[in-house]
């Protein structure tokens, strides 16, 4: 979508420190001042009421852009496990309850897989990203997918979220074991951002 003002500042709409660090690293070198919701005083939380990752990304981008008065990038991402009918999906962050830690969430998924009786451990991480202008209008959106499988047990202390139980295709280690450099090349978030980058490059110096 065409915009009339160059993007000089971009708010990353997350309070997840791990996600913020990952996105900032992927955007390194862009001539844009990167801001975050952490700079706001008690930012209101945008409810993820959408039925898809894309709808939630657009909701958050639009509403946080209006709150901050800046171009805003938001994402919604999660883990889809084939044998569990795509669960936890859009409920990944709140699976088992918002207060449930990811150690417990991963244990739940491993237990549900065992109970399913299925030998299929295929899974994928999905990410949808959206950028809204300061008025809240969505000006760009992209998706990224990283396919793989669920490990027998959590391994590694790297990354965040479900990373310790996800083994991406072409690798033997989980995202919790692989280096940040490898993850930033192949992750669902990296792939979505790769689709976003041409739009940002085209609109930083109109």
DSSP calls for the chain? ---SS---EEEE----HHHHHHHHHHTTTSSSEEEEGGGSSSPPPPP---SSHHHHHHHHHHHHHHHHTSEEEEEEEEEEEGGGTT-BGGGGGGTT-TT--HHHHHHHHHHHHHHHT----EEEEEEEEEEE-TTS-EEEEEEEEEEEEE-SS---S-SSTTGGGEEETT-SS-TTTS-HHHHHHHSHHHHHHHHHHHHHHHTS--
- Whether 76 is a known active-site residue: answer yes
Report how far residue 143's alpha carbon sits from residue 113's, in angstroms, rounded to the nearest whole number.
Answer: 27
Residues with a catalytic annotation lie at 76
């Amino acid at each position: 979508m065409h915009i009339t003002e160059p993007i000089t500042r971009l708010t990353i709409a997350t309070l997840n420190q791990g996600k913020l660090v990952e996105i900032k690293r992927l955007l390194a070198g862009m001539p844009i001042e990167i801001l975050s919701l952490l700079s706001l005083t008690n930012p209101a939380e945008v409810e993820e009421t959408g039925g898809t990752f894309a709808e939630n990304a657009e909701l958050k981008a639009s509403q946080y852009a209006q709150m901050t008065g800046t171009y805003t990038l938001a994402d919604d991402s999660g883990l889809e496990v084939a044998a569990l009918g795509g669960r936890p999906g859009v409920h990944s962050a709140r699976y088992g309850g918002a207060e449930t830690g990811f150690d417990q969430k991963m244990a739940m998924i491993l237990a549900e897989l065992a109970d399913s009786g299925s030998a299929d451990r295929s899974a994928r991480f999905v990410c949808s990203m959206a950028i809204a202008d300061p008025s809240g209008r969505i000006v760009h959106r992209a998706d990224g997918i990283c396919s793989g499988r669920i490990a027998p047990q959590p391994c590694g202390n790297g990354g965040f979220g479900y990373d310790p139980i996800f083994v991406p295709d072409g690798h033997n280690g989980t995202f919790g074991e692989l280096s940040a450099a490898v993850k930033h090349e192949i992750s669902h978030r990296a792939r979505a951002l790769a689709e976003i980058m041409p739009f940002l490059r085209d609109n930083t110096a109109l």
